[in-house]
């Protein structure tokens, strides 16, 4: 199959033939229909991260089952699926608690980020968080496949695998946003817009988008933002206090992954409010808080790993809301690219030129 392989960080991905591993007894071979191009892909391209090289990036994907291992029972060839990224072993203490987003396989050899995904001559090629969707196909454990009805448009459905579920999950599963509340969303990109539409869905009365890009602030309004604050021009904290009756917001979501914006989220919530860290920061990033202020203010700081999403439960729920017209998904897609254009797609994302770009394989 054809895949875009990352050999050296910050250098162009190379589109070439690789050979996928054979599916094991509990694995599924899926032909991709679409893959989103997400900020995490960009980060692992640009930054020196833990992911092993050479690597096929891409983790937000939908496709059609092509082959199944002998012990697979949940899907069959021809089924439409959304692929959940990362470990979902179904057996560890976290999976058994119903927290698959924290899955930590007891046997490190079962870590799907580190298992051989494909081969190029004699070189092992890895698949990013087990998916590797900047390619024509993948092999994943059956527990990473969420079957969906064939009536659901499969191309936009790829975005449910990461951007939509992370954003909506942050609101519903992690923060439990209450009707009538005030919500600040710092960073109105692919995930931020989904936090905004999640907050709208949850009945927030005020949804304040914060970004440096005025076009993103305009777009945020289409997804339910009631106010926009341009952080390169406005006094963010002052403006938010003004918009929230002087107290600060009930919730502030940080969807960028920078220490200064995580601090900003903490500072913009009222006493007793919650700052939710959704953005992915660099490994060495640290944020300082005043311990007595944290205690006295009763503020809460919540970590949000992949929206606290349980794919088997939350993907079908998101599809129902989408099909009922309560969530916008097609509207997130601003540009389609072919696999050969993957470097262009990543650069467009880096330059803030796309809301969500997708690779379309059809």
Interface with Zn ion by CB under 5 A: which residues?
38, 40, 89, 92, 95, 103, 162
Q: How many CB atoms lie within 10 A of CB 153?
A: 15
User: Is residue 101 within 8 Å of 86, Cβ to Cβ?
Assistant: yes
Minimum CB–partner distance for residue 264 and Zn ion (Å): 22
CB nearer to Zn ion: give 33 or 159. 159
Residue with tokens 């054809």: 2
Minimum CB–partner distance for residue 231 and Zn ion (Å): 23
Minimum CB–partner distance for residue 15 and Zn ion (Å): 21
CB nearer to Zn ion: give 38 or 252. 38
| Nearest residue to 17 (alpha-carbon basis) of 140, 130, 135, 114 | 135
Strand partners, 360: 34
Minimum CB–partner distance for residue 282 and Zn ion (Å): 16
CB nearer to Zn ion: give 95 or 236. 95
Task: Write down the number of H helices and E strands in the chain.
Answer: 11, 19
User: Is residue 28 within 8 Å of 78, Cβ to Cβ?
Assistant: no
Measured CA to CA, the distance from residue 287 to residue 268 in angstroms comes to: 15
Residue 130 region by backbone torsions, left for phi larger than 0, else alpha for psi between -120 and 50, else beta: left
Tokens coding 99:
């927290």
CB nearer to Zn ion: give 26 or 263. 26
CB nearer to Zn ion: give 103 or 137. 103
Tokens coding 256:
């960028």
Minimum CB–partner distance for residue 190 and Zn ion (Å): 8
Minimum CB–partner distance for residue 272 and Zn ion (Å): 31
Strand partners, 63: 32, 81
Residue with tokens 């698949």: 127
Minimum CB–partner distance for residue 171 and Zn ion (Å): 17
CB nearer to Zn ion: give 44 or 227. 44
CB nearer to Zn ion: give 125 or 131. 131
3-state helix, strand, coil in the chain (%, to 5): 35, 25, 40
């Amino acid at each position: 199959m054809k895949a875009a392989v990352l050999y050296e960080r910050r250098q162009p991905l190379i589109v070439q033939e690789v050979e996928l591993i054979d599916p094991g007894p509990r694995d599924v071979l899926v032909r991709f229909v679409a893959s989103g191009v997400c900020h995490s892909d960009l980060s692992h391209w640009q930054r020196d991260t833990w992911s092993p090289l050479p690597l096929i990036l891409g983790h937000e994907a939908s496709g059609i089952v092509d082959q199944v291992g002998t012990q697979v029972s949940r899907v069959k060839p021809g089924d439409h699926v959304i692929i959940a990224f990362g470990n979902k072993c179904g057996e560890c203490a976290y999976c058994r608690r119903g927290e698959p987003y924290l899955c930590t396989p007891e046997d490190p050899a079962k870590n799907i980020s580190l298992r051989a995904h494909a081969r190029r001559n004699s070189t092992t090629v890895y698949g990013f968080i087990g998916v590797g969707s900047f390619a024509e196909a993948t092999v994943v454990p059956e527990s990473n496949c969420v079957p969906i009805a064939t009536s659901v448009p499969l191309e936009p459905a790829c975005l449910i695998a990461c951007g939509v579920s992370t954003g909506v999950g942050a609101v519903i599963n992690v923060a439990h946003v209450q009707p009538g509340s005030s919500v600040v969303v710092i960073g109105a990109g692919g995930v931020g817009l989904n936090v905004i539409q999640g907050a709208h869905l949850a009945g927030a009365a005020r949804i304040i988008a914060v970004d440096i890009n005025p076009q993103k602030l305009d777009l945020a309004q289409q997804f339910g933002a009631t106010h926009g604050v341009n952080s390169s021009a406005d006094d963010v904290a002052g403006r938010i206090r003004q918009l929230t009756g002087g107290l600060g917001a009930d919730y502030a979501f940080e969807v960028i992954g920078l220490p200064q914006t995580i601090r900003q989220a903490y500072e913009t919530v009222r006493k007793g409010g919650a700052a939710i860290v959704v953005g992915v920061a660099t490994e060495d990033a640290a944020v300082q808080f005043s311990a007595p202020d944290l205690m006295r203010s009763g503020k809460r700081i919540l970590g949000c790993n992949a929206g606290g999403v349980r794919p088997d439960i939350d993907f079908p729920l998101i599809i129902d809301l989408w099909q009922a017209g309560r969530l916008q998904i097609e509207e997130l897609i601003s540009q389609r690219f072919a696999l050969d254009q993957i470097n262009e797609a990543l650069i467009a994302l880096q330059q803030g030129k796309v809301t969500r770009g997708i690779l379309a394989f059809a």
